[in-house]
Structure 1
Amino acid sequence: MSATTDATETAATSAKAPDAHNAGRLPSLSRFRELSLVPAILVLGLIGFIVSPAFLTSDNLLGVAQQSTELSLLVLAEALILIVGRMDLSLESTIGVAPVIAVWLVLPSSGGRFTGLGLFPEWAAIPLCLLVGALIGAVNGFLILKLRLNGFIVTLGALTMLRGLQIAISEGQSIVNMPSSFSYLGHASWLGAPAAIWICAVLFAIGGSALAWLRHGRALYAIGGNPEAARTAGIRVDRITWAVLIIGGLLAAFAGILYSGHYGSISADQGSGWIFQVFAATVIGGVSLNGGRGTLFGALTGVLTLQLVVNVMTLAGVPPLWNQFLNGAIIILALIISRFASGEKQD
């Protein structure tokens, strides 16, 4: 066990060698890269307070946190996948198709346009939804790791295919009949805060602890930084990467449960366009698109930054039509700051 652990540490150190060199040039900035968005969040909080006293009310802050939960879980999934050196575009569709399939399997036909099969009891809705998400991740992993297909193309194709499946099963309409388990997780309150917030916080804590303290968690950085060195060190690169893709599918499916329960329906285009926000939040939070770098805390600050921008603009009365423009400007600015803060060389 200790020999394998030492090998993992050696591979991780080898993968991070370029970062160590850069850190020697800019130690005060690159060392705290994951905290780079904290000042931005504080500034947004100050602006929000100036714009409207309602910003610091518990209702508003809990509302922002609640609206961040589903996106946060997708960002958590994508961050893990990016750290291991892969990417998954199909998460955008998984958040919609997994709950649609689960509801289709457990709810009987109600006489409307949507026709359910009613093959399973209602309590099975959550397990079925998670199973669908895991299956999507497993199939993506098989195509990428076993058949050696291009991961970007595979997950792009999966995004399109799963979106079409979602529309076909839902017959192009919103499904308003939700299983009670979906509704509970979407509306329950624990200790004065929505249950979704607590669940999201626990999952981020578990993921962050795993990356920091567990051997397999640290192996993700080694694989993402230098997969060949990781293999030489005895790390089972394909097996761990496959597991991460499955976990990503699980998290996306669970995000679909929370979103569907929160809004009380599943729309035919649920999740459409989310992948842009997912990558934006992940990248501005310091997770490298090249693999091997980043933290879940940094990714979470990326989510909060984007959500606070929208909230402050709403309170300020800025037309929603400007949201996309301002989010794009924030992403570019954050990337510029991140480039100088990390000391990376221009390509």
Structure 2
Amino acid sequence: MTTTALVRPSVRLGRMRDLALVPAIIVLLIVGAVIDPVFLSRANLVNVLQQQTELSLLVLAETLILIGGRFDLSLESTVGLAPALGVALVIPVADHGLGTEWSAALAVPLILLTGVAIGGLNGLLILRFGLSAFIVTLGMLITARGVQIGITGGQSLFTLPPSVMYLGNTAWLGLPLSIWICAALFAAGIGVLGWFRHGRAVYAIGGNADAARAAGIRTDRVMYAVFMIAGALAALAGLLMTGRLGSIASAQGSGMIFQVFAAAVIGGVSMNGGKGTLFGALCGVLVLGLITNILTLAGISAQWIQAVYGLIILVALVLARLTTGKAQDS
């Protein structure tokens, strides 16, 4: 059995489900316009897109792992640790640096390499040693968060190299650069998963790892690469957030994993692996961003937003049961 044959039904189902979110996005645009005319202004819509760029990269990373039949809880802590470590290695001690004072040109590469290292370590423990993905990534989340707090001393870092600020604080052709970056990465991801052998292999592994292995796919090698790519994407998300906010908070990224799973679930990505598309996941991110913006314009307290995310997940699970006859966690 070929890899293409293994994944074709899952891809078709994913396309049907994620296209269902397009009407929902249109409805949200209409509702937002009714609630406040400012909603459809260019400035507001660009602001919504820019604010969702970091989340979209995390969702891209998590979706790749979920399609492969695994998951990673530590992505949110990579958002904070990677930029904190990269910056601390280049700034002076007076600015809460580590005293190494390496060249500022190394800051961005160090940030991305930190993400790759975290993802690689997760992959090593899960794939090589056969440990539980839940326990490993939960432990990594806690460890990385603790290291971040230790590096920053529980304080925000405000002295940032220009290279760290650039990606999240620059506009190209009238749009923030972060939006172009996310669009390019999602386009690349959609192309790889849909047209390249290694991308189709991820679907095959998530659908049935034993069958994929019998078809000649090196399952551990493929998933190891996926974990490292996901770590790099999480680090890039942290870099964009740092540039947009102009600082690195000691708790940067905290709580984002709940939004990540909410976007993935409503975007039609299965928790069991082998099903879902990046387009659907991106639609899930847009739905969350529009809902958040509508609630804000309507004067709803931000404290209720987490409850809305949880409700969205539950509704998505019920819809998955009704439309496919199969629960996401079964």
TM-score bracket for this pair, using the shorter chain length: over 0.9
Give per-residue Cα distances to partners, 1:153-188, cap 9 Å, x unaligned.
000000000000000000000001111012111110
Displacement after TM superposition at 1:30 (Å) = 7.2
In structure 2, how many angstroms separate the alpha carbons of the residues matched to 1:40 and 1:285? Answer: 11
> How far 1:102 sits from its partner (Å)?
0.2
Native 8 Å contact 2:317 2:327 kept in 1: no
1:178 aligns with 2:160: yes
User: Which among 315, 318, 321 is matched to residue 303 of structure 2?
Assistant: 321
Q: Give 1:3's aligned residue.
A: none
1:270 aligns with 2:270: no
* Cα deviation digits, residues 68-92 of structure 1 (max 9, x gap): 0000000000000000011011101
Offset at residue 330 of structure 1 (A): 2.1
Tell me how far 1:34 sits from its aligned partner: 1.2
The worse-fitting range, judged by mean Cα deviation, of 177-186 and 205-214 is 177-186
Does 154-163 or 325-334 show the bigger shift? 325-334
Change (3 A) 1:345 1:316: closer
Give the structure-2-normalised TM-score.
Answer: 0.96
Report the TM-score when normalising by structure 1: 0.91
Equivalent residue, structure 2, for 1:26:
none
Distance in 2 between residues matched to 1:30 and 1:102, nearest whole Å: 38
Which secondary structure state, in structure 2, belongs to the residue aligned with residue 106 of structure 1?
coil
Tell me, in whole angstroms, the C-alpha distance in 2 between the residues paired with 1:212 and 1:222: 12
How far the C-alpha of 1:335 sits from its partner, in A, is 2.3
**2: CA distance between counterparts of 1:198 and 1:305?**
19
Residues 164 and 243 of structure 2 are in contact (CA less than 8 Å); yes or no, is this contact kept in structure 1? yes
Pick one of 57, 62, 70 that aligns with 1:86.
70
Identity of aligned residues (%): 55
Matched, 1:74 2:69: no
Which deviations, in whole Å up to 9, do the C-alpha atoms of 1:286-337 show, x marking residues without a partner? Answer: 0000000000000011111111111001111112222122222222222222
Answer whether contact 1:33 1:342 (CA < 8 A) is retained. Answer: no
Match of 2:79 in 1: 95
Q: CA deviation at 1:31?
A: 5.7
1:201 to 2:196 alignment:
no
* Bigger Rg, structure 1 or 2: 1
Residue in structure 2 matched with residue 33 of structure 1 by the alignment: 17
Q: How does 1:206-285 map to 2 (within 5 A)?
A: 206-285=188-267
| 5+ long unaligned stretches in structure 1 | 1-5, 24-28
Structure 1 SS opposite 2:107 = helix
Which region of structure 1 is more displaced relative to structure 2, 123-132 or 317-326?
317-326
SS for the counterpart of 2:2 is helix
Output the CA distance in 1 between the equivalents of 2:176 and 2:293. 18
Displacement of 1:117 in angstroms is: 2.4
Q: Verify the 8 A CA contact 1:10 1:233 in the aligned structure 2.
A: no
Q: How many residues align?
A: 329
State whether structure 2 residue 141 is matched by structure 1 residue 146: no
Q: Secondary structure of the equivalent of 1:32?
A: helix
Q: Mapping of 1:105-124 within 5 angstroms?
A: 105-110=89-94, 112=95, 114-124=96-106
Aligned partner letter, 2:69: G
